[in-house]
Structure 1
């Protein structure tokens, strides 16, 4: 049976549903769940920068009334190591917890701490330490060093082929490297070993990549059914909402985001989705306020760019420029945390009149991985440089899996139109707008205008 057989997920889902309810998941037990879909958005500005923004008049981020489970677990591990510094297992778990904390807080300084703790674990136990190798693999994924992540996961699995966490790291790395059959095979093994939130959310991503939206939603619903904390529920609802929004279902997306925010007020991922829905419904002021809350809480580069695009779509160009200007500052902190962002830099440069930078950054990204995201970035960068004949093949590869997002289809349509492939362009542009008429506050109106200029829908 092929690893892409949707029956694997359905059969495991039915089996899992019939099992007794699982015990409560600890924060450390759920570390791997954070990697899916967010793996390419793991770091941003540190806490001191957010404090400076608040001091300069920006909205402050409310402090949590009590330590969250992950922070509490980190504290407990630190206390354990203060008493027993030779506990290699605790060092490994602390390092993995720091990787997750970097994602949650958008503070890249945690990556250095994670590397130090994991290296200490390997020093204390250099042989047979699959836990630390798995943590190092997750750290490599977060830093976008996907080849290293795949290698480290492979080393961990040689020691412990029953490690669901290592299979998850390998799944993520293979997805990002463009090895989709290999990713699905690794995911299938993870589902067999531990069909919980971490596996089901990855299954959703894998299904969505291949255009299997029904399986993608079913997997997220399975993940939600196993959620045992507000953070787990917020995580699942964030992606259920994103999946609904990606297919243009604003009502379902709004319901998921609202339900998640009722459990976890202020969660950045849920607020981002809510901002998109508000913008799509034409509630401009509310959308801007919500976007502002997102970038204050979690100033990731893509959040700043998206907020800037929303402001630009409203004619608020000076405010948009302020958001765009922050991106370089953010990426400086990315670099300090050991994270590269060639893909994001390439797309931003292509959209903002810097084709030389766009092509150079896209080529750097493509040298490290050849997945659909890298193909799309190459296509759009080459288009911005007027090299549409070269761009077309990349645009076709970016949309080849069956689950191409609306933005990828739009990029392909623009390139086809530039090459005089009018019939093909009309199909691509209509497909983008059919998938999600609100896929971008800047590019969706352009897609509609270009489609009409080409003669409308096919």
Structure 2
């Protein structure tokens, strides 16, 4: 099946499991239509004002360059000191704060965004301000609030296309994949272009339609006009390539994203991931450190810590784990929810019982697939394997929305089944994990191989039935 898939679609795509679940779905989509400055034109031609590109991007809800964002924020702050009743400018400022916080992993921007957006709503209730509140809630991982704000925006203006990507993120975070699909269909009716292609790619990836996802994201990257937007889509192409274990393809896309936008820190971390898998350890460590310099994300800190641990550098790993805890505390101070990554960390490197408590609470708040996988694994680590298997099945069950083909999720399920002496399913899922991505984790891949050896099996040359591709929904399959 794998050879047929490669012939039909032209390659394998992929990414590292957890980072895929946590980070892929929160990049905003849209289209930048910025007219370039003519080199030869009238002498009185006026170049774009500072922050003009960011204004276009923020208004459309797409990734914006950090220098342009800083210019836009400064300009709007100055404008609003003179015109405090300008509801539209308050909404723009709030959205810019959200984007700045998301791109820098600095949750201190989120209270500022909240204040600006609520000020806008006090002056005048508008779909733009509701959109901003939905984007803020998604960035904070408060998906219930994001759904509420997004649905309020849709009620006010059902044809406002920028609302639907926000609703897709919210529904996905809540595990409502059917609602996410309906929102995507409505978005595609209202709008085309790179942003919509990128959003479709994310939804298709979650459904297991990997070739459709790659086609959409590749076209989005090719069609994006602004560097920051194109770099964001290339980073997601790299993530898809990583999930299939395509190290070189992933690395090329991550490198191109960083070349286009040096502030694309997710792509910088992706380079570290791919370089480590290629055995270029020193380069991988440098890439990770650079990524953490301007975006001290707890997810990146966890990845780097686990790479250090796999190399036997336990003190360096502990330093990254301490950074992770500090970043989670800082996120909480800004109203952001990083309980998922903290629970994942505690399950493997700290207190599994604490991980279970945290992740049970997270499941009650927002029962998405990533939380199901994390809670199942935490329960396993805490010795509660019967209950653990129920959540692991949920995370990998196509019927309930667990269609994403994640090596990490398959590994977790296989290890839980092994502990429950379900040896046949355990072998299948551990083999599946290594077939999907033989490099998915520097710590867990050796554990998977060791478990398979104990079970008297090696990764099969045949793809297990459970790994077969979901039906292709694109005309490109013809």
TM range, smaller chain:
0.7 to 0.9
Deviates more, 1:373-382 or 1:74-83: 74-83
Q: Tell me if the contact between 1:33 and 1:201 (Cα under 8 Å) persists in the aligned partners.
A: no
Q: 2:165 aligns with which of 152, 156, 168?
A: 168
Unaligned runs of 5+ in 1: 1-20, 36-63
Residue matched to 2:205: 208
Q: Is the 8 A contact 2:63 2:228 kept in 1?
A: no
Matched with 2:57 is: 30
- Is this contact kept in 1: 2:32–2:226, CA < 8 A? no
- Cα shift at 1:114: 0.4
Partner of 1:80: 79
Secondary structure at the aligned position of 2:162 is classed as helix
CA distance in 1 between partners of 2:298 and 2:141 (Å): 15
Match of 1:410 in 2: 411
CA RMSD of aligned residues (A): 1.8
Which residues in structure 2 correspond to 1:410-449 (within 5 Å)?
A: 410-449=411-450
Shift of 1:371: 1.5
8 Å CA contact 2:255, 2:268 repeated in 1: no
2:25 corresponding residue in structure 1: none
Superposed CA deviations along residues 178-233 of structure 1, whole A, max 9, x for unmatched, are: 00010011112112222234322221111011110111111112211221122112
Aligned partners of 1:28 and 1:197: how far apart in 2? 18
Match of 1:317 in 2: 314
Q: Distance in 2 between matches of 1:151 and 1:413?
A: 37
Query: Is 1:133 paired with 2:130?
Result: yes
Q: 1:181-196 residue pairs with structure 2 within 5 A?
A: 181-196=178-193
145, 149, 159: which one pairs with 2:146? Answer: 149
**How far does residue 22 in structure 1 lie from its aligned partner after superposition?**
7.4
Give the SS at the match of 1:345. helix
Could you say which residue in structure 2 is the equivalent of 1:368?
Answer: 365
1:84 CA drift (Å):
2.0
Match of 2:384 in 1: 387
Q: CA deviation at 1:303?
A: 0.7
8 Å CA contact 2:405, 2:436 repeated in 1: no
Distance in 2 between residues matched to 1:225 and 1:83, nearest whole Å: 41
What is the number of equivalent residue pairs in this alignment? 406
CA distance in 2, matches of 1:265, 1:68: 11
Over residues 297-327 of structure 1, what are the superposed CA-to-partner deviations in whole Å (9 max), with x where a residue is unaligned? 2111111111000001011111111111122
TM-score (norm 1): 0.85
CA deviations 1:341-388 (Å, max 9, x no partner) are: 221111111101412101101101101111211110110111011010
Q: Which moved more, 1:438-447 or 1:199-208?
A: 199-208
Q: Which one scores higher on RCO, CA 8 angstroms, separation ≥ 6?
A: 2
TM-score by length of 2: 0.82
Match for residue 467 of structure 2?
A: none
